[in-house]
Structure 1
Amino acid sequence: MSFKLGRFQPGDIVTGKIIRLENAGVLVDFDTEQPVYVPLPELSLNEIQTPEEALQLNEIREFLVVGNYDGEHDIFFSHCSPETLKDSDRLYEHTLYEASRQCGRSVNKEELIVHTKILAAHAGGVSARIQWFLCSQEHPPTVSFSIRQLERQKAWERLRQLQSEDVTVYGKILRKTMRGAITKIEGLHGFICTYVDKHREELVIGKELPLKILEVREEFNRLVLIPGSVRNKLRQLQVGQVVSGTVLCVRDYGVIVDIGELYALVPSSRILNPSINHPSQVFKVNDRLKAIVIEANIEKGRVILEPLENSV
């Protein structure tokens, strides 16, 4: 059930009392004229089959007020200047253009409700998220209520805190992908980066790993982690260090090298010259080479090498 915008505004956190448990949801008293029905999927960030798994009768719980937007009505600005942010007319103009484009007709300013959220501040300005929806007599602006969205919001906050404190988190491998694995941390799915992990083939579904958080980007639903042991090995490498390794494979973009406990990349840009058109003209699988570490990036989980002359 949705309510017209009134004293409830999207983004507010409100409390309600659970007054009835039903098969597919609950009735909640928000001190309104009538109770609000909240469906089962909105009762928990976890997958539940019954309301009793998340709530109890007469329990007082917090809910996030959610506007009637969907993903298509989100606009992200990765570099929004303070001047643009202050100039509401410019933001409305851009949002009107996007709304008209998506609706296939000209949208009037009076039809549009816009909410702007600052995601992060940086040297170039700020990253911002604009949510919009249309309102009319036929489709008045409404809100609904969600525990799941509130728990999700809090989960992202906890992850940012854990990252800032460099805390080790533990996650089970849910499934493997071509370039890593998927896990769940704080109820949110995350990608385990294994680009440099020599033992990534040994990852087992269901195995729990100690992990470090590399990236938390709520606006893009992006959580990237790396096995703690791999990060420790990355930390042991120093830029300028000379390493030896064996060529694992040769690609257009460069050469993958096994340097012991890690995989590293020799980019094509460090190999090619006017007389060499492809890395395969220089390197073959199982070749031994010596190289200098030019990047050992813990945040991106990668090692970049430059081969020494006559190292093959």
Structure 2
Amino acid sequence: MSFNLDSFQIGDLITGKIIKLEPTGVLVDFYTDQLAYVPLLELSLTEIQSPEEAVQLNQIREFLVVGNYDGEHGIFFSHCSPETLKDSDRLYETALYLASEKCGHPVNREDLIVQTKIRDVHGNGVSATIQWFLCSQEHPPTVSFSIRKLEMRIAWERVGQLQAEDVIVYGKILKKTPRGALVKIEGLRGVILTYVDKHREELVVGEKLPLNIIKVREDCNHIVLLHRSVSIRLRQLQVGQVVSGIIRGIKNYGVFVDIGDLYALLPTSKMFHPSVDHPNQLFKINDHLKAKIIKIDPENCQVVLESCGS
């Protein structure tokens, strides 16, 4: 069962009473003329097999009003002026142009619903996501209801707070990847950057690790984390600092140097022997090396070096 936009507004929080539990979902009374059906998937952020794992009969719960449209699209603007946001005509012009390009034919304004969500506020304006929904008289827009997306919204707020407060979080490794590992934090999936972590081979699926959140991007469903020890080591480093380490990897583009809890890269272009065809003509695995830090990128866990002599 679905409801039209005259009844509810997308993004609103509404209260409903669980009237009936079914194997694949529940019926909810939102104190309107008809009951709403909420499927199992929308009852919880975690994976559940039955409604009883998330809700109870006659329980009063909050739900998020969400869109249930065909043809949902959106675009992220990293810099959007307040004037643009206030001018709904300009937003509609942008959405109409993008929707027409996507559909391959002109789209009428009356067939388009535009939603704008502020993602971040900065000195030059705001970052915003503009979403548009195509509809018609034959297929009018409807809304649906979700506990899962409400919990997801709360989880993103919580993750952002944990990052801002530099809190240590513990995430269980779900899967190892060539450049990292997947974990769950507050019910959301995140990626641990381990491609420069010297302990990456020791990671075990199912293990819980102390982590720091270094990047949160809700608009692209992206959370980046670092092992706590790697995060601490990064904070101890400064550009211009001379560090000592042991070469642990040699590639044609440079060598990876173990400088304590993480690997730093000494690019071939930053070596004192530019005429050398391959770094293995200069270095061997387990060689000791001194080098100067020329770049630190905490969000991508990168430390770049240049030669400073022996």
Normalized against structure 1, the TM-score is what?
A: 0.92
Distance 2:281 2:11 in 1: 58
Superposed displacement of residue 95, structure 1: 1.0
Residue 80 of structure 1 corresponds to which residue in structure 2? 80
Shift of 1:84: 2.7
5+ residue gaps in structure 2?
A: none
Q: CA deviation at 1:264?
A: 0.3
- Measure the CA separation in 1 of the matches of 2:91 and 2:280: 53
Aligned to 2:233: 233
User: For residues 185 and 214 of structure 2, what CA distance do their matches in structure 1 show?
Assistant: 13
Show CA shifts across 1:169-208 (max 9, x none). 1111111000110000110000011133111110111111
Find the counterpart in structure 2 of residue 156 from structure 1: 156
- Show the 5 A alignment for 1:189-268: 189-268=189-268
CA contact (8 A) 2:292 2:308 kept: yes
**Cα gap change, 1:282 to 1:56, in 2 (>3 Å):** same
Q: CA deviation at 1:71?
A: 8.4
Q: CA RMSD in A?
A: 2.1
Q: Is the CA contact 1:77–1:128 (under 8 Å) kept in the aligned structure 2?
A: yes
User: Could you tell me which residue of structure 1 aligns to residue 51 of structure 2?
Assistant: 51
Residue range with higher mean Cα deviation, 4-13 or 62-71: 62-71
- Matched-pair contact (CA < 8 Å) for 2:69–2:134: no
The 10-residue stretch of structure 1 (244-253 or 223-232) with the greater mean CA deviation from structure 2 = 244-253
Quick check: 2:254–2:279 contact (8 Å CA) kept in 1? no
> Which residues in structure 2 correspond to 1:105-116 (within 5 Å)?
105-116=105-116
**Which amino acid counterpart does residue 242 of structure 1 have in structure 2?**
V
1 CA distance for matches of 2:71 and 2:200? 34
Cα distance in 2 for residues equivalent to 1:56 and 1:272:
69
C-alpha distance in structure 2 between counterparts of 1:30 and 1:283, whole Å: 72
Name the SS of the counterpart of 2:300 in structure 1. Answer: coil
The answer to whether the 8 A contact 2:45-2:148 is kept is yes
Once the two structures are overlaid, the 10-residue window that deviates more, 2-11 or 183-192, is: 2-11
| 8 Å contact from structure 2 (residues 3, 144) kept in 1 | yes
Measured in 2, the distance between the counterparts of 1:66 and 1:293 equals: 49
Distance in 2, matches of 1:222 and 1:283, equals: 39
Cross-structure match for 2:63: 63
Provide the residue aligned with 2:176 in structure 1: 176
Q: Distance in 2 between matches of 1:136 and 1:123?
A: 39
Which shows bigger deviation, 195-204 or 85-94? 85-94
Q: Does 1:127 align with 2:127?
A: yes
Q: How many residues align?
A: 309
Question: Residue 289 of structure 1: CA displacement?
Answer: 2.4
Instruction: Give, in whole Å, the separation in 1 of the partners of 2:124 and 2:278.
Output: 38
Shift of 1:277: 7.2
Does the Cα contact within 8 Å between 1:271 and 1:279 map onto a contact in 2?
no
Deviation at 1:15, TM superposition (A): 0.5
Q: 1:221-252, CA deviations, whole angstroms, 9 ceiling, x for partnerless residues?
A: 00111111111222222332222223333335
Distance in 2 between residues matched to 1:195 and 1:92, nearest whole Å: 43
Residue 145 of structure 1 aligns to a residue whose secondary structure is strand
Equivalent in the alignment of 1:306: 306
Q: TM-score, normalised by structure 2?
A: 0.93
Deviation beyond 4 Å, 4+ runs, structure 1: 69-72
Judge conservation of contact 1:216–1:222 (CA < 8 Å) in 2: yes
TM-superposed CA distance for 1:270, in Å, is: 2.3
SS in structure 2 at match of 1:47: coil
Mapped pair 1:36 → 2:36: yes
Matched residue of 1:214: which SS? strand
- Amino acid of the structure 2 residue aligned with 1:122: H
Structure 2 counterpart of 1:220, one-letter code: C
| Pair 121,282 (structure 1): closer, same or farther in 2 beyond 3 Å | farther
* Structure-2 change in CA distance of 1:251 and 1:72 (3 Å): farther
Identity %: 65
Cα deviation, residue 268, structure 1: 4.2
Measure the CA separation in 2 of the matches of 1:277 and 1:12: 63
Classify 1:234/1:112 alpha carbon distance in 2 versus 1 (closer, same or farther; 3 Å): same
For 1:276, the equivalent position in structure 2 comes to 275
Separation in 1, partners of 2:101, 2:305: 46
Counterpart amino acid of 1:188? L
* 1:137, distance to aligned residue in structure 2 (A): 1.0
Give the letter aligned to residue 182 of structure 2: I
Q: Is 1:18–1:26's contact at 8 Å kept on the other side of the alignment?
A: yes
Partner Cα separation in structure 1 for residue 140 and residue 109 of structure 2? 15
